[in-house]
Structure 1
Amino acid sequence: VLGTLRLALGADFDRLQELANEHRTLRMMLGHGIFDDKNYRLQTLRDNLKLFTPDIMDRINTEVICSGYQLLNLDVSASIKGRCDSFVLKTDVHFPTDINLLYDAMSALFRQCVHWRQDYHLPDWRQHKHNLAQFKQQYRRIQRLRHSTSKDEKKKLAQADLICKAHQIYIDLAQKYLNLITQSYELLIGKYQLPKVLLLDMQTFLQHGDRQVDQIRRRVIEGETIPHDEKVFSLFQPHTEWISKGKAGVPVELGIRVCIMEDYHG
C-alpha cells in the first residue's frame, strides 16, 4: 500500500511517514484500527520500500486482476480485450538545465561537507557560505546572458565569446570545489575511517557534479550536442523523464510514464 502510494504521489519518505502515522483512512487500509497506536519509523519505511521492485508490482497487478475475474466468475485464462491510455505522472522538479543541475549538485555537496565538518576536522570549509555565494553569483550571471540577435557579426561573436568565458569561469569554480570536496571525502574515508555507506550521498553528488561539468564544457565550449541518453533531468528524483507527447500547448512534461489498462468488464 505504501509503495503504491509513494509511486502515485511522488512523495518523499518524510511525507509518507506522516501519512502512514496520521491519515486515518490510510491506516485502516494498512489494517490498523482507530485505537491502534502503531507508528512507522522512517528508517523502517526506507528499508522496506527499497524491496518494492517493479517485478513485485507486476505480480500484485496480476493477482488483483485474477481476483477480480474470480469475483465475476470469469475465465482468467481466456483472452482479454481492452483498452489502454497513458499519461505522465509529473515529478516535483524544476525545469532542468545543465547549469542549474550543476548548482544543485554543488549545493548538496556543500551541505554535506558542512554537516561532517561539525564532528570532524575538515580543512578549507570555514568560508563555505562565501564560496557558495560566489558560485551562485556566477550561476546567476550565466542565467542573465543571452545570445545576440544583432545583424552585426562582430557583436554576435563578442557576445558568444562572453557566454563561453562565463561558462568557463563557472565550471572552473565548480571543478575547484569538487576537488576540495573529493579531498574531504578521502579524509573522511581514510583518516577518520567512516564507513562508505554513510558517504553514499556525497559520492553520488560528486558523480553528478563531474558529469554536469563535463556536459557544460562539451556543449558550450566545444559546441557538441549532448546525446539524450546521457542527460539527467533531476538529481533528487533521477527517475524523472523528459516526455514529449505532442499535446497542444504542452511541448514537454517532466515525470514518468504511466499506462492505465481497462478491459471490457471495467
Structure 2
Amino acid sequence: MNRTDCPEVKVPFPVFFVIGAVSLAENLLVVVAVIGNRNLHSPMYCFICSLAAFNTIASLTKTWENLMMVLADVGQLEKRGTSETKLDDVMDSLLCMSFVGSIFSFLAIAVDRYITIFHALRYHNIMTMKRAGVILGAIWTSGGVLAVLMVKFFDFKFIMICFVVFFIVSLVVICFLYVYMFMLARIHAKSIAALPDGSRGRGALTLTILFGAFVVCWAPFFLHLIIITVCPMNPYCECYRSLFQLHVVLMMSHALIDPAIYAFRSVELRHTFKKMLLCSECQ
C-alpha cells in the first residue's frame, strides 16, 4: 500500500458547478456572437467557435462527472455499476475529445494566422470557408476517433504514454510555429506595421496568449498522467496526485479564460458582445 502524509485535497462540488455553468454561458455567447455577426464569418472565427465548443464540452463533462460522484457518495448511484461505468467511459471520451480537438483547433488557428500575416494577398484564395469547413470536419472526426481509442485502451501503458507524448509533441509543434511566425514578423516588421491598425500582428499575439493559457491550465493534469505512469507507488508522487481535484478545477478554468481573451483582444467581437448583452440596437 502506498504511504503518504499528504491528504487528498477536496474541492466542493459547487465550485465545479459554478465554473461549468459560467464557462457554458461564456462559450455559448462566443458561438452565438460569431454566428450572428456577418463581419465575424471568417475561417479564423470558425476555428475559434470550434475551440469554444470543445471548451464547453470539457466543462460540462467534468461538471457531470462530479455530480455523479456526489450522487454516488450519498448512495444514489453505484460507483462500479455497469451503466455507471459505461457512462463514465462516455464522459472520459468527451473529455479526451475536447483536449484533442482544442489542440487541433489551436493548430488550425496558428496556420490561419501564418497565412494571414505572410500571404495576405492570397489569403482569401488559400483559406476559403469551404476549406475551413473541411478542416473543422477533420478536427471533430479525428478528435472523436482518437478519444474513443484512448479511453478504450487506456489500461495499456503504451496508450497512456502515447497520450502524453501527443500532448508534448503538439506543444512543441505549435510553439515552433509561433516562434517562426514572430521571427518572420521581425524580419518583415515594416510590412507588418503597414497593415491596418496592426491587426494581423495582434492576431498572432492573441493566439499566443490563448495557447499560453491552454498550457498553464492543462499541464498539471498531464503531469498527473505522467506521474501515474512513471512512479505510481512513490509517496512523493502521491503527494502531487493528492492535488488532482485542483488540477481539474484549473483545467475547467481554461474554458472561463478563453472567452475573456477573445473579448479583450478582438474589437469586433467585443462590440458584438456589448450589442448582445446590452441590446443597444433592439427595436
Please give the range of the TM-score, normalised by the shorter of the 2 chains.
Answer: 0.3 to 0.5
> TM-score normalised to the size of structure 2?
0.38
Which one has a bigger Cα radius of gyration?
Answer: 1
Q: Which has the higher strand share?
A: 1
Structure showing the higher helix proportion among its residues: 2
Normalised to the residue count of structure 1, the TM-score between the two structures is 0.40
User: Whose RCO is larger (CA < 8 A, sep 6+)?
Assistant: 2
